[in-house]
Structures are given as structure tokens and as C-alpha cells.
Amino acid sequence: MAVLMDAINPSIPKPKFGSESIVRQACILLILYLSLGVVIYWFNRHHFVGPKTNPVVDALYFCIVTMCTIGFGDITPNSNATKLFSILFVLVGFGFIDILLSGMVSYVLDLQENYLLKTVQHDGDKRDLATSYIIDVKKGRMRIRLKVGLALGVVVLCIGIGVGVMHFVEHLEWLDSFYLSVMSVTTVGYGDRAFKTMPGRLFAAIWLLVSTVAVARAFLYLAEARVDKRHRRMAKWVLGQDMTVSQFLAADIDNNGYVRYASPGAQY
């Protein structure tokens, strides 16, 4: 009977929230958007004040810091045109980068989930408690606690890499390096510490983009874990209740005097 029901009602494939084409488009659009910002900065570089290194590196650094809403304050516009450019760049970039990088992160997570699920299905006879703790095979996805752990691990890794680069490249003390790293990835950016060397700013242009998205994704998964826990608690409470006669009568929606179980997706 179970085989017959599976044949009549095949399982719905998991939707793909990301694809290679989305990642490709995201990379192309991100490069074009940053290139536009760099070009505008280049032609107006004399209307920005702050420590200067290389014009192209400074332009890329300024665009990333602005787009990620960090705002160190080491490079600032001092004319009406450059202030208007900064306003438009951060307003467009704030939503732009979130949409594009969300697609990229979803694609990477899909790859991770598919790899883990294939591994579990291939070694079906060897599955144990540890595997079921990590993978929800029935739902076809990683468990939310694993996603939270991976996201937090990426955040810790980003902070650690930032501390090392700031200490050895920017020549900051260990505490100041840790302080600047945390203030940067959390987009606080007090401005008392910032990147001053060309290698440091070149590193920051890539590191800030990745780390700020990783922190945002970690907070999103933490919120998802709380909601998932609440849903499971509510479902457990509902399933543990005894049905009353009035509830049985309410379940008889066609008023034929019968109530029967229907599997999800079944047609009766």
C-alpha cells in the first residue's frame, strides 16, 4: 500500500532557491555596480578627504565600506556632488547587495545540502544517530541547528582572519585588531580605527563584503531556529490533544458521516 501511494502521489521535489545562473548574474552585476562606483570616485577623488593610498584601491575600499553600511569615516565626501553620490550609492547598494548575495548564499547552501543528502542516501545502511542529528532525510535538508553552527563558524573564521591581517598588515595590537575586526563585521564602525595601508584596504574590500553577509546570515538562521523550535513545540502540543466529538463533526467537511486519514498531497 505504501508503494502504491508513493506511485500515485510522488514526492514533490525540493525547490531550488539558487542556481549557477543566479550566481553568475550576481557576480556580474556586483562587479558592474562596484566598477561604476570606482569610476565615479576616480573622477571626483579630489572631493574626498581622508588618508590616501592608491586611487583605485581607495575607491574600491570606499564603495565597499559604504555599500556594507559600515562607515569608518576615514574617507568622506566633502562636496555636494560626492555627498549625493554617496547617498544614492548606499541606498541602492544596501538592497542590491542583499538580494544578490542572498541568492549566492542560497546556492551554496543547496550544494551543501545536496552533497550531504547524497552521502546519506548512498550509505543508507550505515546511517546512525549522529547522521540523523545532522540531516533530516525526510524533509531533504540540513537541520537548522547545523545551519546555525556552520554560519556561526564562518563568522568566527572571518573575525579570526581579520584579526590576523590587522595585526600583521596594519600593525595593530592584538586587542585593537580584535576590536576593529568585530566592529567591522557587525557593521558598527565607530571610526576610531580603520584600514590605512593599501594592502589592508585591498583585503578589507573583499573581507568586509563576505564577513558582513556571513553575520547577517547567522542572525537569520538564529531567528529561524527560534521559529522552528516554537513550531515543533506547538505541533507536539496539538498532536497530544484528544479530539472531542465536536471536532470530529467539524472534520466531516462533506457531511457524509465518515472521517478518514488522507496522506499529504493525496487526492480523495
CA 103 to chain centre: 9
Specify the pLDDT at position 45: 93
pLDDT value of residue 83: 95
- The confidence score (pLDDT) of residue 120 equals 56
Rounded Cα distance, 70 and 193, in Å: 12
What is the model's pTM?
A: 0.69
CA distance 44 to 30: 21
How many Cα neighbours within 13 Å face the side chain of 56?
2
Contact call for residues 107 and 227 (beta carbons, < 8 A)? no
Sorted by where each starts, the structural domains of the chain and their CATH numbers stand as 19-119+140-244 (1.10.287.70)
Q: What is the pLDDT along the chain (268 residues), one digit of tens a residue?
A: 444 444 555 544 545 544 566 667 777 888 899 999 999 999 999 999 999 999 999 999 999 999 888 889 899 999 999 999 999 998 888 776 666 666 666 666 666 566 655 665 555 544 444 444 455 555 545 567 777 888 888 899 999 999 999 999 999 999 999 999 999 999 888 888 899 999 999 999 999 988 988 888 788 778 777 877 787 788 777 677 776 777 767 777 777 777 676 555 444 4
